[in-house]
Structure 1
Amino acid sequence: MIFINNYPKLLKNYIIVLFFLFFLFLQGFSFAQEANFTIQGTKGCAPFTVTVQDESGAAPNQVSYKFGEGNVQTENTFTFIMPGIYSVTQFVSGGSSLQKTNVIRVFSRQPVDFKIIRCVGKKIKLDIQDFYYDAYKIDFGDNTFAQTGDNGSVEHTYSTEEEYTVVVRGLFDEDTENCIATERVIKPVEGLLPAVINRLEAFADGTAQIDYTLNTSLPHVLEILTSNGFEYKATIPEDSNNYLIQNASPGDTYRMSVRDQCQSDTKNSSIFYIPNSNTTVEDNHVNINWEVNRELDANEFVKYSILRNGESIFETTDSSLVYLKDEAVACQVRYCYQVEIEYSSGLKLISPERCVLAQSNLPPPAVSDVYATFTPTNQTILNWNYPNGIEADSINSLSFIRNDNIGNTTKYNLPSSTINFEDTQVNIDSSPYCYSISYVSSCKLSSEFSGFICPILLSYEGTPTNKEGILTFNWTAFGGLETSNYVLEQTDTLNKEPFAIQNISNGAGFYTIDIENQEKQTIHVRVRADLGDTTTYSNTVRIDFRSFINLPNAFTPNGDNLNDTYGIESKFIKEFEMMIFNRWGEIVFQTNDVNGRWDGRYRNGFAPSGEYTLKIVAFDQRNKKHTLTEMIKLIR
C-alpha cells in the first residue's frame, strides 16, 4: 500500500481496478461449475422424447448434452426413435461432466392383450392379460375412463345396448399416452334369453345342420346328452343363424345354452334330437319305420311327415304311428325316404335319407294326367305326367293309340324317356282324334292304357267370300278332363296376341261372326280351354274374306242432293288412288282417300256433261293389287 501511495492519485485508481479484476479472474478458477441435472421421464414408447433439467448453475451457453450414442448438442430435449436402453451425459464448459448410465428405457409399441366379458344388465368385465406396461388406461367409449395395473380387472355398466368402442392403452411411469391403443367394439347385453331352435336336418354323411335364432347376443354352447348329462360339443358363433354339426348320429340329443359369466346364470334352449328311420324293400312296396323321443314328443308334437325324394307323401297327427307302407313304387327305381317331425313351437326335425331300390311284380299304375292340344299349324301335341313315384327315366318303353270317330285305330311306340309327342299325321278335316297312353316299367310290366283324351275340334259353316252373311263356328268339348272355361280367340296372324276374345258356352257349342262387320280381311280363329295348371287349344281355322270395289257408272251433280258426287264402295282396301280424266286426258279429280268423292267441279267451274275416264289402283289387306279402268258419265 505504501508503494501505491507513492503514485499520483489518478494512477492509483487504475491500479486498484486492475487488482480487482485480477482477483475476480482468480476466483473463476477457484470456483468452476459442477455438472448436475435431472431427467423428466425415463420410460416410454418409441418415439420417446425426454427433457433434461439443468441444475449445474452454469450459464446455458456453457452446458451441452450427449443422448445415448448421438452427437453432443446444446438443446436439452431429445427424441429416441428406436427401442433400447440409453445413457445421458452433461458437459459444462470449464467445469466437470456428468454421465447418468442406463437411465432412459425406450420400448416398442405393442398392442395390449385384454379380454372383455359381457354380462346381462349391460355390464362388462375387462381383464388385462398383459405384463408389458406399467399401467393401462381404459376408455369405455361413453366418456368414462379407468386405469389399472398389469393383470388387472375392471367392471363397467353401460346405459344403452348400442355399440361402443373400448380402447385400452399401455402406459410407462409418467409417460404421455404415446403407446399404441388397442380397440374392440362391443355391444352390451340387457337380458339373458335362451336360443330358439327352428330346424335340424341330418344328412347321410354324418353331419346335421341346425337353424336357430339367438335371442341373446353372446356366444352359445352346443351340448350333447351323454350318460353323465349334457356335455360340451361345440361353440356356436355369436350372431350366427345356423351351424353344421360334425360326427352326428341318429338318436343324438342336443341343447344350446348361453351363460352370464358375471352371475353364473345359464339359459338353455329346448332339447332337440336326430330322428332315426329305417327302410326295407318287399315285393311291390317299401316299409318305413322311425324312432322318436317320446319325452319330447308328448306335449309339443304336431305331426309326422314322410318325405320321398324330397316330396311329402304322407302326414299324420297320430304320435303313436311310427310305420308306413309305401305301395306307390316302381320296380328298379331308387327311392330315398326321410321322416320329418313338427312341433307346436315351430321346430322341425328331419332324419337322414335312407335309400332303397324298389322291386315289383304288379302292373304299374296307369297314366291319368294327360293333355292334348293343337299347335297353330294344326298338329296335335300330347303332354303327360307319370303317376306319383314313377320317373320318366325308369320307363322301359312307351306307346299310345289314336282313335278317330269312324273306327280307325293307330298305335305308336315312343322313346322311353319321352313326356310329350307331336302327332304330325292327323287330318282334322276328315275326323277328330282321341289318344290313350300306356308304358312298360323297368321291371317289364305294362300299365293299363289311360282314358282317352280328345282335343277340341273347331269347324265353321258359311261363305266368307260373300259380301255379307253369317259364319257359324262349332266346336267339340275337350275330352278327358272337365272344364267350364272356354274362350274363342281371333288373331290376324298366327302366334300373335288375339285382337278379340269372347267367352263362349261350356263344352260343345257354336258362335257366329257377321261378315259385313269384319274389319280384318284375314282372321285366325281357335278355342282355348283352361285345364287347371295347363291350357289346351283347338285347331286353328283361317278365314279369308273377299275384298271388293264397286264402281257407279254415272252421277248427277245438279244440287238435288241425289247422286250429286261420285265415289266408290269398297271393303278391306288399305292403299288407294283414284284419278278421273276428261276427253283431252286432263286430270279433273284425284284422291288417295278411299272415301273421297268428286263433286263435278273442275278449275273453279262446273265440268260439262259427258263421259269421263276413271282409273283406280288399289291394294287390299292381303296385298292383292286391284287395277280398274272404266268410263263414267257426268249428267247435269
Structure 2
Amino acid sequence: MNTKLLFLLALLLCAAGAPALAQCVPNPDPTTNFLVYRPGGSTPVTELCVGNVYRLKDASGRNIPPALVRYAKLPALTCNPADTDTSTFYTPAAAGTVVITQNTPSADPLKLGVIFGRSFVVRALPDPSFVLTTCSPGVVQVTIDDQIYDQYLVQIGNAPAAPAFRNTPTPYPTGSATTVRVTGIFLNGCTREATKSFTPKPAAVQPRLRRLDALNGSFTFQFGPLQTDYDYLLQQTGGPGQPSFPVSAGLASLTIPATPDGRGCYRLLLSDACSPSVTSLASNELCAETLTGTSADGRNILTWTPANAAATYVLLRNGVALPAGASPYSDSVGITCGVTYRYRLEATVGTGATAAVSTAETSVLTSARQMLPVPRVFASFNPRNQVQLTATVPNLPAGGQLLYLRNGQPLATTARRTLLDSTLVLSQGACYSVRFTDACGNQSAAGASFCPVLLTAKAADADGTRAQLTWSALGSPVAPGTVRYTVEAQLADGSWRPVSAALTDLEFLDLQPPTDRQLLRYRVAASAPGQPVSYSNVASVPRQLKVFLPTAFSPNGDGLNDVLEVKGRFLTTFRFVVVDRNGQEVFRATDRTQTWNGRIGNEPPVLGAYVWRFEATDETGQRVLQHGTITIVK
C-alpha cells in the first residue's frame, strides 16, 4: 500500500545568522511528487522486489535539476536536509517495507525546501518450487507446488516458455533437452527462475514372470530383471476388482497370500509414473497350479487340473522326476507304507530364456500295501573277528524296523541299517538274513542269507615254516562260480598284503611265511560281481619261540667262543641274566646284540660254572621261562 506524506522543512536561522535545524511539518503542496520505474520502463511500479534495479524520477513538474534532488531509502521517513544521496537508481536488498524520501529545494531561496516520502512493500524472490518427474522416453512431467508467485512459465531446454498452473501435473515433450526451467512471476512484474536437470529414461522392456511357487498357503513369484526407472504392479487377471500388489524395482521375488481356492492367474505390469494409462507393458501371464494327493493300498494318487495353456508338466517325488503321466497319476513303485513323500508338480511354459515355471506341492503318507520290499544283508568280519552286518531295503534308506537273524534265530531288532555281531562263536559259523517291518506293522519275507567265509589255519610242519589254510565257501545271492578268494597276511605295521592269487579253491599252502613274525595272521578276501569285498575272520598260526645257549665258552682271545651271546628265533622282547655261585648278577641282556666276555667289571674272567635265566613274552601273550648253567673254560 502507497502512502503520501508531505512535510515542510522549516529553515530557521539562529541568532548568530547560521541555518537552523529543519522541522518536518505537513505540506499539502501538490507540486511535490516522484515516481518509481523499472529501467527502460514507462509504467510506474507500486511494489518493489529484492534484487531488482529501479529508477527514481522527480514528478513535481518543476524541472528541478537531478543534482539538486536527494533520496533516502530507509525503513521510516527521514527529515535530514543534509542528505546528499542524489542517485536515481535503487536496488532493494531485503524484503519488508521501505520508505523512499525525496528532498527537493524550493525555487525561492528564502522559502523552505520540500521533503516528500512514499512507502513501498519489498517482496522476496525465492526459487519457485516444482516437482520434476522423468516419464517415458521423450517426456517429463512438471508439477508446480509453489505457493508464492502469481503466475508461472515452464521452459523445456531452449524451447519457448509456456504458461503453467499451480498444482497441475503437466507432461511436456523433451526432445533432446535435459533441463527444465520454471519462472515465477508477480503481478508487479518481478520474476524468479529455477532450473532442474534430468536424465531421460531408457526405453521400457517388457517384464517377465519367471516362476510361481504355490506352497503352504502362499504364492511366491520370481521376476526377471526390473528397470528402476519404472513402476511395477503384480495384477491378478480375470476382470475388474481383482487384487494387485506393488512391486519394488529392487526386488527379485515377492510372496503374497494364496487365493482361497489356490488358483489364479497373474501378470506383472510395467507403468510410467507420469501417465500409467498411456505407457504400460504387461508381462507373460502365469497361473497357479494345484496338486492334491491321496493314498490307498500302497498307491499314492496325485491329481491336478492344468492351469497353464501349452505347458509341459513334470511330477517329482522327493525331488526325483517320475515317469510321464496324466492326472490322476498313480505312484506305486518304490514307495513304502508309513513313509511320507513330497510331491511337486512343475508346469513349464515356453522354452529357453523365456520359459516360465509354475509349481505346486503336496505331501502324502503312504498307506498299507500287500507287498513289502525284501531286504538284503551283507556280512564281513572286521580285524577283531566281529561280523559287520549291513542291511539294505530297496528304495527305503531309513524308517521301519529290521529283524536281524543268525542261523535262523533272532539276533537283534533295530531301525539301524548296520549291526555289529560280537557274540559269534567262530567254530559254529554263521549265516545271516534280515526281515523288514514297515510303519504299518507289515512284515516282509526274509531276504537271502549271507554266510561270510570262515577261515582256519595251522602250521604245516613242526617249526611252522609253512602254513596250511582252509576256508568255507562264501554264501551270498551271487552265483558261487563267480566268487574269487584271495589270501592276505598281516604285516608288522598292521597292514595287509595278498600272498595268493585270486583262487576258486577253498585252501592254500603258504610256503614262505614272514620269518620275523612268531604269530602269523591270515584272512581271506572274497569278491564277487555286484557286491563289496567280504572278509573272513582272522586266523592265526603261532610258532614257538626258541632260545639257544652253549654250555661253555672260553674268553681267551683266540677268536673262538670268546663271548656268550643269546641266539634263537622270534627273540624280540626278553630278559637274560647270569649269576655267579654267590647269587650275584654278573651279566644282563635285553637285546641280541648284547654279549658277555666273562669279565665282571674290569676283572678278568673267573673260570667256573654260572647259572643263567631267560624270560620272555611271545606274540600270543604266553610267558616263556628257561634256565641252565654255563661254564667259563680256558
| TM tier relative to shorter chain | 0.5 to 0.7
| 1:430 Cα deviation from its structure 2 partner | 1.3
Q: 1:400 to 1:574 in 2, by over 3 A?
A: closer
- Separation in structure 2 between the aligned mates of residue 574 and residue 602 of structure 1, nearest angstrom: 26
Matches within 5 A, 1:457-536: 457-462=454-459, 468-470=465-467, 472=469, 476-477=473-474, 479-480=476-477, 490=490, 499-500=495-496, 502=498, 514-518=512-516, 527=525
* Residue number in structure 2 paired with 1:286: 300
* Residue number in structure 1 paired with 2:55: none
Q: Retained in 1: the 8 A contact 2:459–2:465?
A: no
Matches within 5 A, 1:59-208: 117=134, 130-131=145-146, 192-195=204-207, 197-205=209-217, 207-208=218-219
Q: 1:114 to 1:106 in 2, by over 3 A?
A: closer
Q: 1:189 to 1:431 in 2, by over 3 A?
A: farther
Q: 1:589 to 1:283 in 2, by over 3 A?
A: closer
Q: Which one of 265, 274, 279 corresponds to residue 253 of structure 1?
A: 265
Q: Retained in 1: the 8 A contact 2:272–2:280?
A: yes
* Residue number in structure 2 paired with 1:304: 314
* Residue number in structure 1 paired with 2:286: 272
- Name the SS for the 1:353 alignment partner: strand
| 1:106 Cα deviation from its structure 2 partner | 13
Q: Which one of 449, 469, 478 corresponds to residue 452 of structure 1?
A: 449
Q: Retained in 2: the 8 A contact 1:575–1:619?
A: yes
Deviation string 1:439-470 (CA, Å, 9 cap, x unpaired) is: 44555544222111234544434389957544
Q: Which one of 225, 239, 248 corresponds to residue 214 of structure 1?
A: 225
* Residue number in structure 1 paired with 2:27: none
Matches within 5 A, 1:465-614: 468-470=465-467, 472=469, 476-477=473-474, 479-480=476-477, 490=490, 499-500=495-496, 502=498, 514-518=512-516, 527=525, 538-541=536-539, 551=549, 558=558, 568-569=566-567, 594-595=592-593
Q: Could you state the TM-score of these two structures normalised by the residue count of structure 1?
A: 0.56
Q: Which one of 235, 249, 261 corresponds to residue 238 of structure 1?
A: 249
Deviation string 1:556-590 (CA, Å, 9 cap, x unpaired) is: 8557xx87887555766677899999999999999
- Separation in structure 2 between the aligned mates of residue 431 and residue 288 of structure 1, nearest angstrom: 52
Percent of residue pairs bearing the same amino acid type? 14
| 1:202 Cα deviation from its structure 2 partner | 1.6
Q: Retained in 1: the 8 A contact 2:526–2:534?
A: yes
* Residue number in structure 2 paired with 1:326: 331
Gaps of 5+ in 1: 1-18, 32-37, 43-53, 63-76, 79-84, 91-95, 136-147, 159-165, 404-408
- Name the SS for the 1:276 alignment partner: coil
Q: Which one of 431, 440, 449 corresponds to residue 434 of structure 1?
A: 431
* Residue number in structure 2 paired with 1:384: 391
- Separation in structure 1 between the aligned mates of residue 201 and residue 263 of structure 2, nearest angstrom: 35
| 1:247 Cα deviation from its structure 2 partner | 2.0
- Name the SS for the 2:361 alignment partner: coil
Q: Retained in 2: the 8 A contact 1:189–1:216?
A: no
Q: 1:402 to 1:40 in 2, by over 3 A?
A: same
Q: Retained in 2: the 8 A contact 1:492–1:520?
A: no
Report the AA paired with residue 314 of structure 2. Answer: Y
- RMSD of aligned residue pairs (Cα, Å): 6.9
| 1:513 Cα deviation from its structure 2 partner | 8.9
Q: Could you state the TM-score of these two structures normalised by the residue count of structure 2?
A: 0.56
- Name the SS for the 1:388 alignment partner: coil
Report the AA paired with residue 351 of structure 1. Answer: A
Q: Retained in 1: the 8 A contact 2:448–2:476?
A: no
| 1:326 Cα deviation from its structure 2 partner | 2.5
Q: 1:214 to 1:555 in 2, by over 3 A?
A: farther
Aligned pairs, number: 521
| 1:291 Cα deviation from its structure 2 partner | 2.6
Deviation string 1:322-374 (CA, Å, 9 cap, x unpaired) is: 343233455566555433345643654322316366244x2433224x33344
- Name the SS for the 2:514 alignment partner: helix
- Separation in structure 1 between the aligned mates of residue 503 and residue 403 of structure 2, nearest angstrom: 29
Gaps of 5+ in 2: 1-12, 25-47, 53-71, 84-92, 101-114, 152-162
- Name the SS for the 2:309 alignment partner: helix
- Separation in structure 1 between the aligned mates of residue 591 and residue 475 of structure 2, nearest angstrom: 47
- Separation in structure 1 between the aligned mates of residue 439 and residue 390 of structure 2, nearest angstrom: 21
Q: Which has the higher helix share?
A: 1
Q: Retained in 2: the 8 A contact 1:338–1:350?
A: yes
Q: 1:208 to 1:437 in 2, by over 3 A?
A: same
Report the AA paired with residue 323 of structure 2. Answer: E
Q: Which one of 340, 344, 355 corresponds to residue 364 of structure 2?
A: 355
Deviation string 1:376-431 (CA, Å, 9 cap, x unpaired) is: 54333434343437973xx5x7544322xxxxx4245736x45444444421x213
- Separation in structure 2 between the aligned mates of residue 88 and residue 620 of structure 1, nearest angstrom: 125
> Which one is further off, 446-455 or 594-603?
594-603
Q: 1:99 to 1:473 in 2, by over 3 A?
A: farther
